[in-house]
Structure 1
Amino acid sequence: SDRVLAVMSAGAGVTLTGDSANGFLSVNYQGTSGWAYATYLDTGGGGGDGGGGGGETATVSSSLNLRAGSSTTDRIILTMPTGASVTLSGESSNGWLGVTYNGTAGWAFGAYIGSGGGGGGGGVTDTAWTTSSLNLRAGPSTGTSVLTVMPSGAMLTTTGDAQGGFYPVTYSGRSGWASATYLSFSGPPATPPPPAPSGDIISIIYAAADRYGQNREDMLRVARCESNLIPTAYNRSSGASGLFQFLPGTWATTIYADYDIFDPWASANAAAWMWSVGRRNEWVCQ
């Protein structure tokens, strides 16, 4: 991950300089230029001239859904083609950016919006999760070879429209096809698997790492450092809680926020998800 230039205090004023990439916005803070995670920027402002960064233009790096809200559960208004030019409204939420495309306002995921043109390889890009163990196949039919088996709850990216009931997808850097019947576009399965027996915390961490394509040993090392693998660990001074020592505010930004922060399955999966979207550097332990 990139080095930290400075720590900006809560409520600090920054200037958006117009670029965005992988959910981060380019900013200038007290004369220092760098990048800040969009989730923790409030561009609504406290008055005056409104949200900074409004009116800046950016380019869609892959065909991308324009949604009515800042989540994959909000309805799709339209699909923007690769290379489309959009205007940033200055709003951001959970890695999503407020944009206007051809006069239509909505929200688009920041990871696929950048100041550079071109890039990207066609197809409608969206995030999906497997609802059961699912084969990643070489082609859009059950007659093609199985490349790997994706576990239930695995996060993947669709890269185009469905063909014959299969979506073209990428999973852990591997491209293939997955049956649409076993994909959810509204988040991971609502019910986690049964709790692992006592002492099986390592297996939970490894499964989470596999689900989100992260390094098993790296995740285990961080968990040991943060909580000594104790799911009920609690830091009275900071409020950091659980296996991966989430701060309550950070926990609320994850897709597992509805689960108990002390649930080791939820903690491990929330950490793996954060790492998969570029937020690994939010841990002190590395």
Structure 2
Amino acid sequence: MDDKMIECRNVVYKYEDTVGNTFKLAVDNVSIEVKKGEFVVILGRNGSGKSTIAKHMNALLLPSEGEVFINGINTSIPENVWDIRKSAGMVFQNPDNQIVATIVEEDVAFGPENLGIDPDEIRKRVNDSLKRVNMYDYRKHAPHLLSGGQKQRVAIAGVLAMMPKCIIFDEPTAMLDPSGRKEVVKTIKDLNKNYGITIVLITHYMEEAVEADRIVVMDSGKIISQGSPKEIFSDVKTMKNIGLDVPQVTELAYELQKEGFKLNSDILTIDEMVNALCQLK
């Protein structure tokens, strides 16, 4: 049995630059595999190609060259699009752009209604999805009265109601305050750990990336490294060279190392830092 949820094979994506009628390379020969149930974060600065490759993962974009398979289905075949969208949902930066109804539960019902699902089944899916993101008590509320974090959780519930096996999050916390970010990241982790949903998270917040099973780092349309959070963030120099930060405690450990403290370079959390400092005594 194939355990791959997403497979990008030598994907190239070119787009036409209106200035000078030239083609620009946004994704340059990228190959990525994401296993079923895995939580993968894609990191990169603006213009690195991370959002472009994410949009290939539910057929919003099709490769100029190469192939993308979602749960074994080739995205380049037009009649596969609906099956792909059922398998892989997508949540974007701005929740206001994804909310279409004036009542929360009606908004969550919108996706399954478009799939022609039976009304009784839709009711069940809406309730289940809102419970999963802790928004069931708000089902009769108007979305525009909710906080940013709550709106994003409603947008996630709308995707969940379509029962995807995988959700791609394209910088879902970029427009949220710290408490909204925390709510959404907690929801994403819960969907992965407790419901087995495959997660691909595009983010520029390093603290969010720490939660992943694996991190893929992109720069100039290419993958430059991938590995566990500890492997990726312990290489502080490489991250800084491509204009990315590392978690603050990792940077602190790096600076203390340079001052002669015998600390590991793979410290990612405050608890790990506290333990390491206590052992120095």
Taking structure 2 as the reference length, the TM-score comes to 0.27
More helix by share: 2
Higher RCO (Cα < 8 Å, 6 or more apart): 2
More strand by share: 1
